[in-house]
Amino acid sequence: MITRLSRLFLRTLRDDPADAEVPSHKLLVRAGYVRRIAPGVYTWLPLGLRVLHKVEEVVRQEMNTIGAQEISLPALLPRDPYETTNRWTEYGDGLFRLQDRKGADYLLGPTHEELFALTVKGEYSSYKDLPVILYQIQTKYRDEERPRAGILRGREFIMKDSYSFDLDEAGLKASYDAHRQAYQRIFDRLGIEYVIVAATSGAMGGSASEEFLANSPVGEDTYVTCRESGYAANVEAVITPAPDPLPIEGLPEAVVHDTPDTPTIATLVEWANRAGVCDRPVTAADTLKNVMVKLRRPDGKIEIVGIGVPGDREVDGKRLGASVEPAEVELLTDADFAANPFLVKGYIGPKALQANGVRYLVDPRVVPGTSWITGADEPGKHVVGLVVGRDFTPDGTIEAAEVRDGDPSPDGRGTLVSARGIEIGHIFQLGYKYTDAFEVDVLGENGKPVRLIMGSYGIGVSRMVAVIAEQQHDDKGLRWPSEVAPYDVHVVIANKDEAARAGAEQVVATLDAQGLDVLFDDRTASPGVKFKDAELLGMPYVLVIGRGWTEGKIELRDRFSGEATDIPADSAVETVLSRVRG
């Protein structure tokens, strides 16, 4: 197919859009692949749509290879199934809710576990029908509070979600493994650098869970790896190795001290060293920081909770949020402190919390026998030597503290190193959450009902376009791998010579006859403008037909290597074919 740039619905921009923060957003807009309509909502223009469709096709091919069958469910969904699983409320403000003219509640689908479960329940009744894997490539909707980075994090996006239904856990494991391998093939074909990390299941539910993260400094996900063992996990899924409890006998009694003007960990440590309360230098790690939060549950109930972490650590909002899902985390307001006078800002301790019925959860490092400097629940007072298991007993542990480089790996075989990535895929072993909710049973081989077990597997298809752009661009523009490039080759006429123009028409026609997709810059613009656009648009190969035509030469530019070589005009088509088809 030949597409002439003179007729293509395309306008490239010389300046970055004002709201663009990351390279992929800047370049996809400047190159005319997408256009913003509203926060988190984008139009796909012809070039962008071609890339998107090619990504979809790679995903579709690999899903079909594992025996998955494609269907398409509606995006407009009734409330009832999501009430059955409680996700109508669990999704909170992230759900787009609406009513029809009769007042019936609907939602725009953020994910489709409920509908897939009901679809299988309605169609299958015998163990002979199983196993089955169904998938769709469809638009999803989530009311992101702060959509950002263009199509990397939008309110409307395209996703491949697939669901496996099996008779037992062995079948689920096989379906999960098949998806895992299919995802690796997909991302390899797309030329994406990625890691597979252990993850949490979040609002989806389920047990085994892994994320595929594309390496990127602009990624919103932080993950950690252990170079010694190969362990890898999203920070939300890191389980802190708890030290062994320490003996309590013989430890000094806890003593309350006047500590005026010490509302922060730094001022507290400074006071402790100045006062000489320990026989060694005191560090922030010797203090117990107590952070107060409110948990807003899906039913609307609010609970105040205290979180205790070593004072040298900050509370990681994502880890805390993952630990308390489906509840949402909020900070306390001045009104909350006024309503609970036992909460003394800067001097909160565990005793007053528990005495007033506030649940107190601590970091796993806060084990019995450890001694801490922490708030004494009075203005200007701290307690030194408060011992876990003697002076207070936490109500439980929580993974909320930040994970840092150098922390011990949960597998005990080295230390952790952090990096950032963009989530491009997530696979879950859901178990029975949704099949229990809808009683999805078939008759087993023995004639008795068998409850089906589910897996859920997602890939961010539209996000993948931005991820490839993020990983593959350079300072001149986009650089598409051949697998997803809008066109196989970009042909540029570099001067106004009629012979060169006629030769370009001939080359383009021959490339088209060989089955290649050709973008033909037949405009009357200057060569400089054409070359800048070619670099910005990012086709893998550019053929420049200009002055060298009279000498029987064409320039071939490789967008990835940056190399430009003169090749014989009479073998140009064969050269391009060998490059494109490998």
Please determine, for residue 205, whether its predicted confidence score (pLDDT) is greater than 70. Answer: no
At a CB cut-off of 8 Å and minimum separation 6, what does 143 contact?
Answer: 93, 94, 95, 96, 155
- Residue 204's pLDDT is 46
Tell me which amino acid residue 475 is. Answer: D
Tell me which amino acid residue 127 is. Answer: Y
CA neighbor of 24 nearest in space, from 392, 478, 548 = 478
The Cα 476–Cα 30 span in angstroms is 11
Taking a C-beta distance cutoff of 8 angstroms, is the pair 579, 481 a contact? no
Beta strands in 314-473, from DSSP E residues, in sequence order = 328-331, 359-362, 371-375, 381-387, 396-397, 417-431, 441-443, 449-451, 453-460
Q: What is the 3-state secondary structure (H, E, C) of 277-323?
A: CCCCCCCHHHEEEEEEEEEECCCCCEEEEEEEEECCCCECHHHHHHH
Mean local confidence (pLDDT), 366-374: 97
Please determine, for residue 202, whether its predicted confidence score (pLDDT) is greater than 80. Answer: no
At a CB cut-off of 8 Å and minimum separation 6, what does 241 contact?
Answer: 364, 408, 410, 412
What phi and psi, each to the nearest 5 degrees, are found at residue 6? -65, -20
pLDDT single digits (tens) 16-39: 988 888 999 999 999 999 999 999
CA-CA-CA-CA torsion sign (266, 267, 270, 272): negative
pLDDT single digits (tens) 47-59: 999 999 999 999 9
At a CB cut-off of 8 Å and minimum separation 6, what does 346 contact?
Answer: 262, 263, 264, 375
What is the separation, in whole angstroms, between the first and last Cα of the chain? 20
pLDDT single digits (tens) 53-109: 999 999 999 999 999 999 999 999 999 999 999 999 888 889 999 999 999 999 999
Taking a C-beta distance cutoff of 8 angstroms, is the pair 527, 12 a contact? no
Taking a C-beta distance cutoff of 8 angstroms, is the pair 195, 210 a contact? no
Residue 359 bridge partners (DSSP):
305
- Percentage of residues in the chain having pLDDT higher than 90: 87
- Residue 206's pLDDT is 54
pLDDT single digits (tens) 308-352: 999 999 999 999 999 998 888 998 999 999 999 999 999 999 999
Q: Any idea which residue has 């001290």 for tokens? A: 257
